[in-house]
Amino acid sequence: DWQAWFLVVQNKALRAGVWKYVDPSVENPPALPELPIPPTPSKINSAAKTYYDLNPDEIQRYNVLQNTYRNEVATYNQIQLPLNSIYDYILATVSKRNLVYVRECSTPHSLLQALRKRLAPTDRGRKLEIQKKLSELYRPPTTERQIDTWLQQWETVYQEAKDLQMDEQRFKEVVEEAETSSSGHVTSLYDLIERFRNWHHVQQATGSLAARNRLSSSAFAIFQGEKPSKGETKAPKGKSPCLCGDIHRFRDCPYICEQLRTPDWKPNPETQKQVDEKI
């Protein structure tokens, strides 16, 4: 998973204060500091070979150079040591089959640029993947053990969609539907998920078998674009328009889900363009 792995590397660099030297989106990062050269007595007196060849005034000047050198070394280490650590981390966590891409890379920046070029998905590819994940999430888990994972996947997909500035209308609809069927105020999808998660944990700890079984009806209906009634369930709400303009869910759209395309299916160029632009 490029995004998860890249986030770890990015956070390491940000915490160390060296991200500007690592950021692969920058073509020409700042020049790295060079390792300072320690001063020698001959820099003060060309005839001096050792410290003891200097007179008191020269010794004082030499000590100033030594202090400057120590400060330069500290600055160098403050940058270079974290960069060395990040470089080692990248090489240690890249799969062996991908090491061929980074054989000539000597800095974290060059490593990330080479890996991103070959492994990172394009924005369009990420958007299509998010649409696919979202379609899969409309189908609730079949067992209670899978619920926490399912909710976490909702949070992950939502954050990925926000990162790519995708249309959040479907997520907003989920929240609006939850708010109309809830006694409390639902401020965001995260709020909805957290309330659902807490409710589920309480039901696991104290609820009856019948109450837990209602998970597959009223509670999950919110995430599927339906409104639960005051009783068990209610008939599904009218489906929202898809990106292609038809009235069906993303998971049922052949423009989004390639596996739905029959051998004789042909896209409408204008509709395909419309979907591509919205994605």
Residues near 67 by beta carbon (within 8 Å), at least 6 away in sequence: none
Cβ proximity of 220 and 214 under 8 Å: no
pLDDT for 43 beyond 50? yes
Q: Where are the domains of the chain?
A: 2-119, 123-238, 239-279
Q: What is the pLDDT of residue 172?
A: 56
Cβ proximity of 83 and 107 under 8 Å: yes
pLDDT for 224 beyond 90? no
Confidence bin at 144 (pLDDT 50/70/90) = low
DSSP string, 136-186: HHTS--SSGGGHHHHHHHHHHHHHHHHHTT---HHHHHHHHHHHHT-SS--
Higher per-residue confidence, 232 vs 224:
224
Confirm whether pTM is higher than 0.85: no
pLDDT for 158 beyond 50? yes
DSSP string, 151-165: HHHHHHHHHHHHHTT
Confidence bin at 127 (pLDDT 50/70/90) = confident
Q: What is the pLDDT of residue 4?
A: 85
Say what percent of the chain tops pLDDT 70.
Answer: 70
**What is the mean pLDDT of the segment spanning 140-145?**
69
Q: What is the mean pLDDT of the chain?
A: 77
